[in-house]
Amino acid sequence: MNTSTLTGQIALPVTPSDSAPDSESKHPPKAALKSILVACSGNVVEWFDFFAYAFTALYFAPAFFPSGDPTTQLLNTAGIFAAGFFMRPVGGWLIGRIADRKGRRQSMVLSVMLMCLGSLMIAVIPTYAQIGIWAPVLLLVARLLQGLSVGGEYGTSATYLSEVATGRTRGFYGSFHYATIIAGQLLAVMVVAILQYVLSADELRAWGWRIPFYIGAAVAVIALVLRRGMHESSNRQHRDHAHAGTLRGMFQHPREVLLVMGFTAGGSLLFYTLNSYMQKYMVNTAHMDPKLSSNIMTAALFIFMILQPLFGILSDKIGRRKQMLAFSTFFIVFTVPVLQLLGHTTDPWIALALMVFMLLGMSLYTSISGLLKAELFPIGVRAMGVGLPYAVANAMFGGTAEYIALWLKTQNMAGIYFWYVAAMAVMLLVCSLQLPHASQNTHLDRDHH
Distance, in Å, from the CA atom of 197 to the CA atom of 200, rounded to the nearest integer, reads 8
Question: pLDDT of 308-357, one tens digit each?
Answer: 999 999 999 999 999 999 999 999 999 999 999 998 988 999 999 999 99
Q: DSSP state, 150? A: H
Distance, in Å, from the CA atom of 401 to the CA atom of 397, rounded to the nearest integer, reads 6
Domain boundaries, the chain: 26-447
Q: How far is CA 41 from CA 52, 119, 192, in A?
A: 16, 17, 20
Q: Given this model, what pLDDT does residue 18 score?
A: 35
Q: Where are the alpha helices (DSSP H) in 375-413?
A: 382-393, 401-410
Counting beta carbons within 10 angstroms of the beta carbon of residue 109, is it exposed (0 to 12), middle (13 to 18) or buried (19 or more)? Answer: buried
Mean pLDDT (whole number) for 406-421: 86
Distance, in Å, from the CA atom of 375 to the CA atom of 163, rounded to the nearest integer, reads 9
- pLDDT for 441 beyond 80: no
**The length of the chain, given as a count of residues:** 449
DSSP assignment of 189-201, as one string? HHHHHHHHHHS-H
CATH code at 26-447: 1.20.1250.20
Question: pLDDT of 224-269, one tens digit each?
Answer: 888 887 777 666 555 556 566 678 888 888 999 999 999 999 999 9
**How many of the other CB atoms lie within 10 Å of CB of 236?**
11
Distance, in Å, from the CA atom of 299 to the CA atom of 421, rounded to the nearest integer, reads 24
pTM: 0.82
Angle among Cα 10, 14, 18 to the nearest 5 degrees reads 155
Question: pLDDT of 130-143, one tens digit each?
Answer: 988 888 888 888 98
Distance, in Å, from the CA atom of 93 to the CA atom of 114, rounded to the nearest integer, reads 15
Distance, in Å, from the CA atom of 225 to the CA atom of 103, rounded to the nearest integer, reads 17
Distance, in Å, from the CA atom of 405 to the CA atom of 398, rounded to the nearest integer, reads 12
Distance, in Å, from the CA atom of 442 to the CA atom of 4, rounded to the nearest integer, reads 10
Cβ atoms 351, 286 nearer than 8 A: yes
Distance, in Å, from the CA atom of 434 to the CA atom of 54, rounded to the nearest integer, reads 37
Distance, in Å, from the CA atom of 354 to the CA atom of 361, rounded to the nearest integer, reads 11
Of residues 29 and 107, the one with the higher pLDDT is 107
Distance, in Å, from the CA atom of 14 to the CA atom of 244, rounded to the nearest integer, reads 12
